Amino acid sequence: MEPNTPASSDSTIPADHPGVSELFAVLAYGEISAFYRLSEDAQMARTLQGKVALASMAAAEMGHFEMLETALTARGFDIFEAMDPFVRALDNYHASTTPSTWLEALVKAYVGDGIAADFYREIGHSLPAEVSRTVEEVLSQTGHSEFVVHEVQQAIKASNRDKDRLMLWGRRLLGEAITQAQFVLAQREALTELVISASGDLNGVVALFDRMQEMHAERMAVLGLV
């Protein structure tokens, strides 16, 4: 993951903007979804080290979920009601990107989660300091990225076939993530307004998605999938 960026202290977006609660809610469902997914994917691990690595990542995701639950409760929201509008899109993303192999699970844990983090971090930088801090803490590294990188790099050195399949898998993760992000924005007016405000304008939103693709390419390169 990229190093933390200091929270903005001069944001023109109010901390009580309705889109902030929607941002926290979609993040919360993303975190609890990641917890279940990583717990399940750990069962595909080839070694005990792999099982522990993904289980530890899952535990971190649960910690992030609890942090968001606290933030939403403080704003007067029931977390389950707040998350409900985002269930369909995120469930569809995970249903369409269910790993079939241990290597696909690792790439999704490293690259797939990074795509979402890039999107939220990009807008988080333009939010009020208290909101930006919460977003950054939730997106903090879940650990064991070095393990993932080593496992994938070793595998693709041994098999060009695995490399080719994982390169295609990475492109699929990116495409599905962007599709579902656009679906969410089309459905949630307050969140869309927040994203546009944080990005500057519609052109800024387009540039945001372009940067997501660039950062995705960088992560793929780290894994050796270029």
Confidence of residue 182 (pLDDT cuts 50, 70, 90): confident
- Structure confidence by residue, pLDDT tens digits, 108-163: 999 988 888 888 888 888 888 889 889 988 887 666 788 899 999 999 999 999 99
Asked if residue 6 belongs to a domain, the reply is no
Asked if residue 98 belongs to a domain, the reply is yes
Contact 156, 90 (CB under 8 A): no
- By residue range, what is the domain housing residue 123? 18-223
- Structure confidence by residue, pLDDT tens digits, 8-55: 446 788 888 999 999 999 999 999 999 999 999 999 998 999 999 899
Asked if residue 121 belongs to a domain, the reply is yes
Asked if residue 13 belongs to a domain, the reply is no
Asked if residue 2 belongs to a domain, the reply is no
- Structure confidence by residue, pLDDT tens digits, 187-198: 899 999 999 998
**What's the half-sphere exposure (Cβ side, CA atoms, 13 Å) at 161?**
0
CB neighbourhood size of 197 (10 A): 19
CATH assignment of the domain containing 42:
1.20.1260.10
Asked if residue 209 belongs to a domain, the reply is yes
Quick check: 61 pLDDT over 70? yes
Asked if residue 84 belongs to a domain, the reply is yes
Q: Rounded to whole angstroms, how far apart are CA atoms 67 and 61? A: 10
What is the tally of structural domains in the chain?
Answer: 1
Average pLDDT, the chain: 89
Asked if residue 140 belongs to a domain, the reply is yes
Read off the pTM. Answer: 0.87
